[in-house]
Structure 1
Amino acid sequence: AAGLANVTVFEGGAEELLEHYNHWDIGFGLHCCGSLTDLSQKMCVEVGATYVIVPCCYGQVSKNGCRSQCLFEHLDCNDFSTIASAADFSVAADDEDFPTSEQFQVAKKCMMIVDADRNSWAAEAAGYSTSLESLFPLSCSPKNNLIVGVLKKHQSDDSYKNL
């Protein structure tokens, strides 16, 4: 991949990945639709890899309910479904001012709740240290959250410090 000896690119279905590789250091996902974000994150957690994922299509995850115990204690499945549905926000291709709209502000808060649940799950399930960020400028995409998780045992490794 690009002449780099330590980089492997896999093209195929997410479920097929574990059939070919049982270890990787970092998993990247850009605009992973709905449950693909959850599956990508879960696969990274299973192999102890860092994950850097930009989620998309939040409404599709609503039927699954909360993943983390932390949020599950405060929201039932119907509440979570409402929040996930409200996180889906689309704009016209030429609307660069959408980040200032009230509708986007509501959707952004809902995206933050869904993604905080995802990161809380990784922390609870496997001791990940997590971060929830945004791509900049916010107008690059209405789905501009970035979830990051690093297994705590890797935090002393200098190669992960600039993630």
Structure 2
Amino acid sequence: MRFRTAPDGGVDLLLDPIEVGFLQTLPDQLRACYEAPADDPARARLFPRAYLDPTEETAEREWQALAQPGLLRDRLDALATMQAHLEAATPRGRRRRVTLGASDVALWAAVLNDVRLAFGARLGVEDDTDFSRIGPDDPLGAEKAAYVWCSALQGALVEAMLLGLPD
């Protein structure tokens, strides 16, 4: 993965075909998390409770009924936009070029945040979790590597957004 920031706050991503292929799997993975039962760790992390007090179940159900449809709609729209960007990627040598405008950079960062929350919940990520050494025999090695890669891409996009801020 390589990226170049544009003066307007956008970003040109140069991705290897395997990276594009992986990114194309994310919308379906996130949709599955959004549709999972409420007790699924990834779904619970993506749609946390507003009321932690067990005596507030009625208020929690009301909040979920009011807020969740809009949150879900926004997330599904973001996934559709990300898919469209990936489908519109243009060849650039061996790589594929994905051009993102400034608002698209923020949208991609938000989708990647959801990916990291979902993957992190399923991997049991804590504040001090260290994936710097993923062993070849680790049964969750691929999932951990995907988490680390998504974190790096999200970090690069956040850096690009910060560069676009006025001094």
Q: Same fold (TM over 0.5)?
A: no
TM-score norm. by structure 2 comes to 0.35
Point out the structure with max Rg over C-alpha.
2
TM-score norm. by structure 1 comes to 0.36
If each structure's helix is expressed as a fraction of its own residues, which one has the higher value?
2
